[in-house]
Amino acid sequence: MEKKDWVDVDSYIASFPKEVQQKLQDIRAIIVRIAPDAKEQISYGMPAYKLHGKPLVYFAALKNHIGFYATPTGHEAFAKELSAYKQGKGSVQFPLADHLPLNLIERIVLFRKEEQDAKHKKS
């Protein structure tokens, strides 16, 4: 897929095949449900969500996987459960051929939201 400058998350998602769109919509729905106050935008060429002005999570569809980026803390907290997937610092790759671990994604987003809320409350 050729990289484009998407104007919003809707146009980003619409640029993928239907089966990939559904997976992206599933992730988006989890984020919006758990963190409805998060600002949705395109950042670094992918859907990004910021809460209290700080990064919450990002996600991106690539050729063979969906990248999910919950910063290092989100990944460290779920290291055991994410160990089955290819990872980088603050990123994990969910193969497109597999079902998304939606329950795990939901718990990671909730963890990140609670983490961001706590930091914001202290400031």
What digits encode the pLDDT tens for the residues 77-123? 999 999 999 998 789 999 999 999 999 999 999 999 999 999 988 87
pTM for this structure?
A: 0.93
Domain interval for residue 50: 9-118
Q: Is residue 92 part of a domain?
A: yes
Mean pLDDT of 65-83: 93
CB-based contact 95:69 (threshold 8 Å): no
How confident is the model over 21-25, as a mean pLDDT? 98
Please write down the long-range contacts of 75-84, taking CB distance under 8 Å and 24 or more positions apart: 75/108, 77/108, 77/111, 78/104, 78/107, 78/108, 78/111
Does some domain include residue 23?
yes
Evaluate whether residue 67 is within a structural domain: yes
Give domain status of residue 2, yes or no.
no
For the record, the structure tokens of 105 come out as 């994604």
- Residue 41 contacts residue 53 (beta carbons within 8 Å): no
- pLDDT score of 3: 55
Has residue 96 been placed in a domain? yes
Task: Give the pair of three-digit tokens for residue 123.
Answer: 């400031």
Domain-located, residue 3 = no
Can you give the CATH number for the domain in which 98 is found?
Answer: 3.90.1150.200
In a domain, 105, yes or no: yes
Which alpha helices (DSSP H) does the chain contain, by range?
9-14, 18-34, 71-77, 79-82, 102-122
Task: Judge whether residue 8 has pLDDT over 70.
Answer: yes
Q: 20 pLDDT exceeds 90?
A: yes
Tens digits of residue pLDDT in 37-65: 999 999 999 999 999 999 999 999 999 99
Question: What confidence score (pLDDT) does residue 1 get?
Answer: 46
> How many domains would you assign to the chain?
1
Q: Are 112 and 74 in contact (CB under 8 A)?
A: yes
Is 4 contained in some domain?
no
